[in-house]
Chains A and B, each alone.
Chain A
Amino acid sequence: MSANVEPGTTLPQFRSRALIAIENVRLQGALEGATGRFREGHDRALAELPGSDELSAYFKAVRSATLARLADHLETFESKAQEVGAQVYWARNGQEASQIVVGIAQRHGITLATKTKSMATEEIHLNQALQAAGVQPVETDLGEWIIQLAGEAPYHIIAPAIHKTRGQVAELFSVESGREQSADDIPRLTAEARRMLRKKFLASGLGITGANIGVAETGTIVLVTNEGNAEMVTSLPAVHVVVMGIEKIAPTWDDAAAWLALLARSATGQPLSIYTTAITGPARPEDGDGPKEVHIVLVDNQRSALVGTAYEEALQCIRCGSCLNICPVYREAGGHAYGSPYSGPIGAVISPLLFGLAAYEALPQASSLCGACLEVCPVQIDLPRMLLELRADEVKEKIGPRSLSLAEGAAASVLSHERLMRWSTAALRLLQRPFARQGQLNLPGRLNPLGQRRPPALAQKSFRDMWKDGEVED
């Protein structure tokens, strides 16, 4: 994650970053193209799966039941993983998790680590911690590598570089390779990436991954990728480190099967991703290759604090990105507006919960509550409900501009008394006369809270006055 991104997003920050995305016509096209392809794939792939609605409902029950006994399942996972020779660590927060990983790297004298795409490692700023400790992390998922080269944060939960043009990518590869790369030859660019990354794969002493699923029954980590990089990262180096959010637990393989049946279909429209990798402990003597050590770092970072609260449901997320692809706000504002590795509807809920509501005050507001996210979510997570809860929390904790709370309080008082409302609106009708034109108010810039847009004017006569004056006839 880029070092110069401030943690937290205020409303003015969201607005200005969103405006940059909105005014970038090319970016809007790229966003629509990518999210459109994902949406189409999602709908088609789930329609092709018989009983997918029932599967979603069943899977939601699985996720809910898992969280109800999360600690038990994590302990089962730990003991099973240890039985097969993996080492398991419990990290209370991101800093602890990074320190554990850095410690492992330093103990082995690692200077170069290869990584698969892992949102959890973005969340804990692992790359920064490794670099500070003299360990060079190299992203091997193509999208993640591109944004690493650019020094940027991911733009989307499953497609980190959808905002990059081929020209920008060619430029980055030119700098990295020391040779001029053409933007027009995509196969050539891909081959170049493969060539450069292959060197890193072979030279790496440490492979770092996240985990799509942790299967408690056998202490297994499941990785879902399309590029083959997970194989390279988890087989070549002698040491494999896994960073996993504690909510990624599936108690049994039946649960994991339901999870896998929904994940890739929901995310990209594939029945399964190209590679589904299950890793149960380090290499056995009879294995031809594989790491001698597997270290699994379980990351809490505020997750357990959500269990048993109105926000527990957010932990059911399987990080498919469907909500981003459907969200009309995300599709205009883009991923960077959120200022968090987790963007879109799920990001608007979990970023304040994981990183602090005061810091991310804008995110619960960055939604029109249209409900499309809930409709499309394979786990039926009620994100709109949680956004409303977060907004209520903001009011309770007095987060946000004071002027707004005063205005809302005043408006509510006025609306609680019909006579007061009539008088106030009569007064507003007088005040608005110089500005009202064709149903809109032409307010001078300073007075207009809506920037460019013109707010609506009050109608010359209200419905209630028409009714009172007997004007409502057929």
Chain B
Amino acid sequence: MDSQNRVALCVTCLVDQILPEVGLATVKVLRRAGCQVDFPAEQTCCGQPFYNSGFRQQATRLAKRTIEIFEPYETVVLPSGSCTSMIRLEYPHLLEASPEWRERARGLAAKTFELSELLVHQIGWDPAIKASTAGGESLPKPAAAPPKTITYHDSCHMKRLLGLGAEPRQLLERSGCSLCEMDEPARCCGFGGVFSLRLPEVSTAMTAEKVRQASETGATTLVTADPGCLMQMRQLAADGRVSIQHLATILEEMTR
């Protein structure tokens, strides 16, 4: 990729409507990493909630719509592992009955990336180096600032379907965070989309266990790269012992 990388932001329906600050942080981080960010205004939802609850017709409709909106762009980035896996892994299967749509789905899949994946592998961004400085000097660390202790939650699709776990950790550590792992960083947070609505008590119990494990690390912040997980865990961690933030939010904060 050249110095002025152009990326189209697929911000995700959850971020758009419920967690817009994650979208803001994502754009800032991308710009700091040297990207020019486009926001195709027609975007709505990748269709995953419908696919996951068995409404394949509706999911197909939204998949086609998403492909049409994003395929004109060179690179697509999402602040969500689950939405990325929907576009990259599920769209080609969902649309396999039509050779034309299957090809278009594959075309989009080949240029769609989750945020940390893009930053690490496509751009090679190092948060420790201030991009705006010609000399590329490291961020000066105020002597009095304590290291931010964080623990990182591996969201299910991102970890198990996309194989991404080293990337967000690398970015967080390079940005100046001190990482403290939970017992089971990849244990499901309990969101599961529609699952949290169908079996709310089980979902809540799963979230409680995740938040408990996070608290036990002593970290001040629990970081996740998935808006769904973020929303789910925040609902339970109202006591504020552990602050729950999106990867983009922390990276933005640490690289100001």
A residues whose Cβ falls under 8 Å from a Cβ of B: 11, 14-15, 18-19, 22, 328-329, 332-333, 365-372, 374-375, 388, 390-396, 404-405, 408-409, 411-412, 415-416, 418, 421, 425, 439-440, 449-454, 456-459, 461-464, 466-468, 472, 474
Contacts and interface: CB of A to CB of B under 8 A. Distances in A.
A409 B58 contact: yes
A369 B194 CA distance: 10
A175 B203 CA distance: 39
Contacts of B143: none
Nearest to A428: B17
Contacts of B20: 459, 461-463, 466
Contacts of B5: none
A416 B62 contact: yes
B23 A365 contact: no
Contacts of B241: none
A395 B191 contact: no
Contact of A372 (B15, B59, B188): B188
Given A466-B24, A474-B31, A408 B58 contact: yes
Given A408-B50, A449-B197, A418 B160 contact: no
B160 A371 contact: yes
A393 B55 CA distance: 9
A458 B17 contact: yes
Contact of B200 (A415, A452, A462, A474): A452
A439 B27 CA distance: 22
Given A368-B203, A370-B160, A11 B198 contact: yes
Given A333-B202, A370-B156, A474-B28, 16 more contacts: A14-B199, A328-B188, A333-B199, A368-B203, A369-B193, A391-B54, A393-B54, A395-B56, A409-B55, A412-B61, A454-B235, A457-B18, A462-B17, A463-B20, A463-B23, A464-B16
Contacts of A466: 20, 23-24
A316 to B, nearest CB: 19
A472 B200 contact: no
A440 B58 contact: no
Given A394-B54, A415-B13, A365 B198 contact: yes
Given A391-B54, A395-B56, A462-B17, A453 B41 contact: no
Interface of B: 11, 13, 15-21, 23-24, 27-28, 31-32, 39, 41-45, 47, 49-56, 58-59, 61-62, 65, 156-157, 160-161, 186-188, 190-206, 209, 231, 234-235
Contact of B195 (A367, A440, A467): A367
Contact of B206 (A19, A328, A393, A416): A328
B200 A456 contact: no
Contacts of A459: 17-21
A462 B16 contact: yes
A369 B55 contact: no
Given A11-B198, A467-B41, A458 B24 contact: no
B44 A421 contact: yes
A328 B153 CA distance: 15
A453 B205 contact: no
B7 to A, nearest CB: 14
Most B Cβ at <10 Å: residue of A370, A371, A416: A370
Contacts of B198: 11, 365
B162 to A, nearest CB: 11
Contacts of B50: 408, 411-412
Contact of A369 (B27, B31, B52, B235): B52
Contacts of A370: 156, 160, 187-188, 192
Given A369-B156, A388-B51, A415-B45, A456 B231 contact: yes
A8 B18 CA distance: 37
B84 to A, nearest CB: 15
B188 A415 contact: no
A456 B160 contact: no
Nearest to A329: B202
Given A463-B11, A463-B23, A371 B44 contact: no
Contacts of B160: 370-372, 374-375
B238 to A, nearest CB: 8
Contacts of B52: 369, 388, 391
A47 to B, nearest CB: 17
A22 B205 contact: yes
A406 to B, nearest CB: 11
A457 B231 CA distance: 10
Given A367-B195, A459-B17, A395 B54 contact: yes
A18 B205 CA distance: 10
